[in-house]
Amino acid sequence: MTSTTPSSTRHVWRAVAVREVSTQARSKTFLLSAGFLALGLVALVVVLSVVSGRETTRQVAVVDELGTAAVAQAAELARDLDDGLSLEATRSDSPDEAEQAVRDGEADVALVPTTAGGYELVGDDELSGTTAQALTAATTDLLTQRNADRQDVDLEALARGVQVDERLLDPGPDDAGLREAAALVFVVLFFVTAISFGMAMAATVTQEKESRVVEILAAAVPLRALLWGKVAGTSVLALAQTLLLVLIGVVALVVTGQGDALGVLGSAIAWYVVFFVLGFVTLASLWSVAGSLAGRQQDLQGTTAPLQVLLMAPYFVSIMAGESVQTVFSMLPVVSTMVMPARLAQGPVPGWQLALAVGLTLLAAVLLVRLSARVYERTLLQTDRRISFGEALRHAR
């Protein structure tokens, strides 16, 4: 192999990185993937904006003054239970007419008096839980007050000191829905990016092996420099795409009037970028090795399977596992790249856990990149067959 000085080696891997960036950036796969992710992110922000800002008005058919007062009081309760829910009273001449309004779709629910002196809610095929809860509470309160007045009872004195208050030891955030959505976006975005760029990188390495182009490159370029260039180029392109998506997401939040979300998620987004860089660089070297182990394109499914499993595990942990399991996984090297940003989006994380996750991922990155370089050098030129991971590790000793 041609001997090179350290400065010339640096020049070589930079040239390889530039070539990798220019080649992948012009590919249809990259452009379609980036476009799909950008459109999906914008669509998600728009949907969240519509859902969070949507106001639902439910018409309540009533037949008397108490029913009208109950709807007015229930409207305040409904807003406390659901910001986007409002209740409006529509007057009917009789209970039968109120029920007919529900049947005809002119009212969502009817609040009508009964022969026993009480009231009942009448719906068509179902009663909305929040609407029914608010109307029931308001009507009960008004009926109780009416009965107390008739019996000359001081209802306030009677109820004094018997109320049951609520207190949470560990209250969840008021913006839990936003945080959960952001956590899911972080996990899915890294998963899709790592899979798409990783498979493309492995396929490129295998294609160069299969076409024997790598033998020509090896005569002029140190194999380790070739690996560094591919890792650097792919990582830069993946990071650029991620930063572009973050920018698109921020702009979409501002344009849709959800700029306040940046105050909630700003630090989580910044940490996501940090973990993305650490995790992707580590995985990029492994994807290159997976490509070097394959003798032809058909072998890629087998050689990349362990990496796909490595990504699937934290993906399911982030979505399905309990809090204690997520806490442990968020500090493990490599998998913390997906799990820790999701935890940060959902709330504060102790500083020592964050530092441990970064430190272990950095250590794993150094060790795995060095190991990958040794395996890559010993397997890249073996173009006649597929090489197992066990055999590759024996070669790397």
Instruction: Give the number of domains in the chain.
Output: 2
Residue 2: pLDDT band (50, 70, 90) is very low
Q: 64 and 42 in one domain?
A: no
Q: Quick one: angle between helices 336-346 and 260-293, nearest 10?
A: 170
Q: 272 and 143 in one domain?
A: no
Q: 59 and 41 in one domain?
A: no
Mean pLDDT of 75-82: 76
Distance CA 186, CA 180 (A): 10
Distance CA 71, CA 381 (A): 79
Quick one: which of 145, 115, 121 has its CA closest to 62? 121
Is the pLDDT higher at 288 or at 176? 288
In a domain, 168, yes or no: no
Q: 72 and 40 in one domain?
A: no
Question: Partners of 85 in the beta sheet?
Answer: 56
Q: 312 and 191 in one domain?
A: yes
Quick one: which of 62, 69, 45 has its CA closest to 111? 62
SS3 content of the chain, % helix, strand, coil (to 5): 70, 5, 20
In a domain, 347, yes or no: yes
Q: DSSP readout, 252-269? A: HHHHTT-THHHHHHHHHH
In a domain, 163, yes or no: no
**This prediction's pTM:** 0.65
Mean pLDDT of 160-179: 59
> At which of 122, 156, 190 does a domain end?
156
Give the domain extent around 148: 55-156
Distance CA 110, CA 265 (A): 43
In a domain, 162, yes or no: no
Do 335 and 314 contact (CB within 8 A), yes or no? Answer: yes
Q: 38 and 72 in one domain?
A: no
**pLDDT value for 385:** 66
Q: 139 and 108 in one domain?
A: yes
Residue keyed to tokens 């760029």: 197
Q: 228-256 pLDDT, tens per residue?
A: 888 888 888 888 888 888 888 888 878 87
Distance CA 255, CA 268 (A): 20
In a domain, 271, yes or no: yes
Cβ count near 85 (within 10 Å): 20
**pLDDT value for 334:** 79
| Radius of gyration of the chain measured on its C-alpha atoms | 31
Mean pLDDT of 19-38: 78
Single-letter amino acid code for the residue at 339: V
**pLDDT value for 51:** 63
Q: 184 and 151 in one domain?
A: no
Q: 304-361 pLDDT, tens per residue?
A: 888 888 888 777 877 777 788 888 888 888 788 888 888 888 878 888 999 999 999 8
Q: 143 and 43 in one domain?
A: no
**pLDDT value for 177:** 66
In a domain, 86, yes or no: yes
In a domain, 136, yes or no: yes
Cβ count near 11 (within 10 Å): 13
Residue 1: pLDDT band (50, 70, 90) is very low
Cβ count near 174 (within 10 Å): 9
Q: 125-161 pLDDT, tens per residue?
A: 777 777 888 888 888 888 888 887 777 777 677 666 5
Residue keyed to tokens 């650097």: 232
Classify each residue of 246-278 as buried b or exposed e, where b means 16 or more C-beta atoms within 10 Å of its C-beta.
bebbbebbeebebeebeebbeebbebbeebbbb
81 Cβ contact partners less than 8 Å away, ≥ 6 residues apart: 130, 133, 134
Q: What is the CATH number of the domain that holds 144?
A: 3.40.190.10
Judged by DSSP in three states, 53 sits in helix
* Cα atoms in the 13 Å half-sphere on the side-chain side of 46: 7
Mean pLDDT across the chain, nearest whole number?
79
Q: 89 and 45 in one domain?
A: no
**pLDDT value for 171:** 52
Mean pLDDT of 89-102: 89
Does position 169 have pLDDT exceeding 60, yes or no?
no
Strands of the sheet containing 109-113, edge to edge, are: 85-91, 56-62, 109-113, 119-122
Phi (first) and psi of residue 276, to 5 degrees: -60, -45
Single-letter amino acid code for the residue at 64: D
Mean pLDDT of 100-129: 85
> At which of 156, 185, 204 does a domain end?
156
**pLDDT value for 352:** 92
Category of 117 on φ-ψ map: left (φ > 0), alpha (ψ -120 to 50) or beta: left
Mean pLDDT of 356-381: 82
Judged by DSSP in three states, 142 sits in helix
In a domain, 108, yes or no: yes
Does position 15 have pLDDT exceeding 70, yes or no?
yes
Share of the chain above pLDDT 90, in %: 1
**pLDDT value for 162:** 54
> At which of 127, 156, 185 does a domain end?
156
Q: 194 and 150 in one domain?
A: no
**pLDDT value for 356:** 92
Residue 174 is classified by DSSP as T
Q: 195-226 pLDDT, tens per residue?
A: 888 888 888 888 877 777 777 777 777 777 77
Q: 118 and 23 in one domain?
A: no
Mean pLDDT of 51-60: 72
**pLDDT value for 285:** 83
**pLDDT value for 176:** 63
Do 340 and 330 contact (CB within 8 A), yes or no? Answer: yes
Does position 392 have pLDDT exceeding 70, yes or no?
no
Distance CA 122, CA 397 (A): 77
**pLDDT value for 70:** 86
